[in-house]
Amino acid sequence: MQQPKKKHQHTVPKMFLSAFACEENENQIFQYSRESLDVFPVAIRKATVQNHAYSIPDHPLVHELFLEDSFMKLESEASLPLLKLRRGERIESLKKVERYRISELFAVQFKRTTAMLQHRDSHASDFARPENTLAYIEKHHADLEKRFGQLEVDKLINRTIETGMGLNVPRQQTLLHAFIGLPRLTDTIFRMNWRIERAPCNQFFVTSDNPVFVRRRGRPRDTHLVGFERDDLGAEVYVALSPSKFLIASWDTPRTRKSASSSRVFELNRLTVLMANRFVYASRKLPSVMELLVMEQDFRLELPDLIGEVLGP
């Protein structure tokens, strides 16, 4: 089935960005460019939009893929619990299912940022070789069978063998692989200790096109990604919920919600800028953000070797 020429899909849902809407216009948000250092208001509905971000044309399993439709359902289920935290309700007041929905949303968002999607595309040509396709199927056979059914998996194997061609559409394998591990990542975030820090008056948190990220505590310029479960390395998950609230999940002893100092707001915004792919977003023009963009202009994260990650040793 031929896909439409254009299909605009958000790599960051509007529910994330709307919390940072401009005071003057709730439909806009200030966008800061890491490359050009420009800042100007953009429509939220157009921010982080990518053409066919999740489309996989002519894929034999496309009708079953856990992608855009599932994202929308997940966002809907997580929106109310997330709104509770933005409005100031305590984390302890969330029901377990509400906390799990937020964890699930964070896990999906971590997997689907523009940077990760583009990184997968840059590696995907290696999967066109039939031996790589078959190796991928063998490694993840149980997960694929559970998700798509044995019949569909057998069809894919037979087609690969008969035609001598792997899955030759650039995003198929890497997108599939990206979302197979979601339940484990969701459970990891759910089990971490959460706390919310609040910005003082006239201080504001910012977000980016990579709004859910993991860092090693005390190592802001570490160029490598660290696993969420690595409590031995001080792994922490960071999410700006709104201009006034910032959620941190870690393996440390739980701490109560606290007010952040001005220097702490600057520190958390620095992490957000460091981990942004192309754009930082805020509810207003902030000189401190421009200062951070200049200060950290040369920093780029080293993303993982996805081919090695998928095919393994």
Q: Over the stretch 211-264, which tens digit does the pLDDT of each residue have?
A: 999 999 888 888 777 888 888 888 999 999 999 999 999 998 776 658 899 999
pLDDT band at 49 (very low <50, low <70, confident <90, very high): confident
Alpha-carbon span 156 to 23, nearest angstrom: 52
pLDDT of amino acid 80? 95
Q: Which long-range CB contacts under 8 A does 44-49 form with residues at least 24 apart? A: 44/14, 44/17, 44/18, 45/14, 47/10, 47/12, 47/17, 47/279, 47/281, 48/10, 48/11, 48/12, 48/17, 48/114, 48/209, 48/279, 49/8, 49/9, 49/10, 49/11
Alpha-carbon span 100 to 282, nearest angstrom: 27
Alpha-carbon span 142 to 139, nearest angstrom: 8
Domain ranges, ordered by start, for the chain: 8-311
| Mean pLDDT of the residues in the chain | 81
pTM score, two decimals? 0.77
- Please name the residues in contact with 206: beta carbons below 8 A apart, sequence gap of 6 or more: 20, 32, 240, 243, 269, 272, 273, 280, 281, 282, 286, 289
Q: 57: closest CA among 109, 118, 5, 10? A: 5
User: How far is residue 215 from each of residues 95, 239, 241, 254, 269, measured CA to CA in Å?
Assistant: 27, 11, 17, 18, 13
pLDDT of amino acid 256? 62
Alpha-carbon span 223 to 3, nearest angstrom: 37
Structure token pair of residue 188: 């990891």
Q: Which residues pair with 282 in a beta bridge?
A: 30
pLDDT band at 64 (very low <50, low <70, confident <90, very high): very low
pLDDT of amino acid 179? 64
